[in-house]
A and B are shown apart, each in its own frame.
Chain A
């Protein structure tokens, strides 16, 4: 009996919470369909494969690699280059590898400050000797063990290597992951593939598919989600709740909005938007405080905007490493 030709699928990871792995497992019965067309050759979270197994493979022998997680250490960098070499199609899977994601918020601080916070200045930590993790440690006279070097900043995958497709989302929505199966079948049959650099998901913003009623997007103040009674039929932004919908790619079928949580922007910006955060600054400024604005003093306008706490953390929650200003700048004051 002739064995069926199967794809080789690898799942590599960087700095990740492994939520993307769980999202793949969430395929449920479809997982059987996936395994039917693809052999998983590498998936550290689920199987016990070693990198040495992969090193035997020739260049471009893996058909599809899903890479999830931010590039944070030399190890992640190495893995990313390794999979680029070994695979025909490299897919950035999840917001972290697409635009930097939550771990990318590390760009607001640096390695030294993080180490200080974690290993000494933390209230519940006593570190009198000032012991910090070392990259290299001698265990014998000529034997040493090493740890990967931690970078000051986080990076997205496309900063480092060519990426063929992007599947955004934190984690990617189920319907996009299911879309992998037809893609794999196409690869298997040598059919026409989507244009390279395609971002899976809608080409329109989330507002386009949001089920809530939008009437007149004009608000007089920003309110906190925790202390507001939400009208379940009305647009959240119109109720004064910060929702990233206007600047975020659709394709998740408004999974957060459906349970009345505002969009946090995990699908990243649509193609027309270069920088998600400044686009949101622009959008929120346009709709805020539009009632008798000529009588507002400067102070009152500042007050209007004081409802927005932590601008970078809110507007760049998933995209800081891909932003135009993507890193803390040290300016002498």
Chain B
């Protein structure tokens, strides 16, 4: 059975706190996600996402605050626009855009966090392993 590696970037104020709450509430979700806490979803450079794929991640999850709730006013909007562009860019390069997922999770939504991660893990399982992991970015022939 294919167990995907998912990298999660979660904002300190909402999504990461939501993940904490999921833990306190003992909401179960698959252990495939490796979470990285960042101060704001707006700080996530598309480079982090691309690098994660290059290093063999099967999916990348980005969690931020709901619109209007950003601790820094507009970080989540920036994240949203970056993700839209990045999805278009990676699909032009042949990678499935569903491998990137942006979700708004507030600090009170522990249950929702668990649900979102479960869904995303199921989706990545269906998509299969990251093709870059199997073949690498080969330059020969």
Q: Which residues of A contact B (CB under 8 A)?
A: 108, 151-153, 155, 159, 274-275, 277-279, 281-282, 284-286, 288-290, 293-294, 301-302, 304-305, 308, 310-312, 315, 321, 324-333
B45 touching A331 by the CB < 8 A rule? no
14 contacts between A and B (CB under 8 A): A152-B141, A278-B89, A281-B46, A282-B46, A288-B81, A289-B81, A294-B67, A305-B88, A308-B85, A312-B89, A324-B54, A325-B53, A329-B137, A333-B96
B20-39 CB mask vs A (1 if < 8 Å, else 0) is 00000000000000000000
Chain B residue with minimal CB distance to A321?
B139
B78 touching A285 by the CB < 8 A rule? yes
Chain A residue with minimal CB distance to B140?
A151
Q: How far is the CB of B53 from chain A (nearest CB, A)?
A: 7
Chain A residue with minimal CB distance to B46?
A278
Q: How far is the CA of A101 from the CA of B4 in the complex (A)?
A: 35
Q: How far is the CA of A302 from the CA of B81 in the complex (A)?
A: 8
Q: Which residues on A sit within 8 Å (CB–CB) of B137?
A: 325-327, 329
B60-82 CB mask vs A (1 if < 8 Å, else 0) is 00000001100000100110111
B89 touching A315 by the CB < 8 A rule? yes
Chain A residue with minimal CB distance to B74?
A293
Q: How far is the CB of B71 from chain A (nearest CB, A)?
A: 14
User: Counting CB contacts under 8 A, is B95 at the interface?
Assistant: yes
Q: How far is the CA of A330 from the CA of B88 in the complex (A)?
A: 16
B94 touching A329 by the CB < 8 A rule? yes
Q: How far is the CB of B115 from chain A (nearest CB, A)?
A: 20
B74 touching A330 by the CB < 8 A rule? no
Q: Which residues of B contact A (CB under 8 A)?
A: 45-47, 50-51, 53-54, 67-68, 74, 77-78, 80-82, 84-86, 88-90, 92-96, 128, 131-132, 135, 137-141
Q: How far is the CA of A153 from the CA of B68 in the complex (A)?
A: 45
Q: Which residues on A sit within 8 Å (CB–CB) of B77?
A: 289-290, 293-294
Q: How far is the CB of B52 from chain A (nearest CB, A)?
A: 10
A325 touching B95 by the CB < 8 A rule? yes
Chain B residue with minimal CB distance to A150?
B141
User: Nearest 10 CB-CB pairs, A to B?
Assistant: A285-B81, A329-B94, A285-B82, A278-B46, A311-B89, A281-B85, A293-B77, A312-B92, A328-B94, A331-B131
Q: How far is the CB of A17 from chain B (nearest CB, A)?
A: 22
Q: How far is the CA of A24 from the CA of B127 in the complex (A)?
A: 51
Most B-side CB within 10 Å, residue of A151, A275, A310: A275
A311 touching B84 by the CB < 8 A rule? no
Q: How far is the CB of A72 from chain B (nearest CB, A)?
A: 11
Q: How far is the CA of A301 from the CA of B95 in the complex (A)?
A: 22
Q: How far is the CA of A331 from the CA of B126 in the complex (A)?
A: 13
Q: Which residues on A sit within 8 Å (CB–CB) of B84?
A: 285, 301-302, 305
Instruction: Beyond the given A325-B53, A328-B93, please list 5 additional residue pairs across the A-B interface where CB-CB is below 8 A.
Output: A152-B141, A284-B85, A294-B67, A327-B138, A329-B132
Chain B residue with minimal CB distance to A332?
B128
Q: How far is the CA of A328 from the CA of B92 in the complex (A)?
A: 8
Q: Which residues on A sit within 8 Å (CB–CB) of B67?
A: 294
Q: How far is the CB of A327 from chain B (nearest CB, A)?
A: 5
Q: Which residues on A sit within 8 Å (CB–CB) of B51?
A: 324
Q: Which residues on A sit within 8 Å (CB–CB) of B82?
A: 281-282, 285
Chain A residue with minimal CB distance to B48?
A278
Q: How far is the CA of A321 from the CA of B93 in the complex (A)?
A: 12
Chain A residue with minimal CB distance to B132?
A329
Q: Which residues on B sit within 8 Å (CB–CB) of A312?
A: 89, 92-93
Q: Which residues on B sit within 8 Å (CB–CB) of A329?
A: 93-95, 131-132, 135, 137
Q: How far is the CB of B123 from chain A (nearest CB, A)?
A: 14
Q: Which residues on B sit within 8 Å (CB–CB) of A294?
A: 67-68, 77
Q: How far is the CA of A92 from the CA of B84 in the complex (A)?
A: 35
Q: How far is the CB of B77 from chain A (nearest CB, A)?
A: 5
Chain B residue with minimal CB distance to A288?
B81
Q: How far is the CA of A321 from the CA of B138 in the complex (A)?
A: 11
Q: Looking at the complex, which one of A311, A321, A324, A331 makes contact with B88 (CB distance below 8 Å)?
A: A311
Chain B residue with minimal CB distance to A110?
B141
Q: How far is the CA of A108 from the CA of B51 in the complex (A)?
A: 19
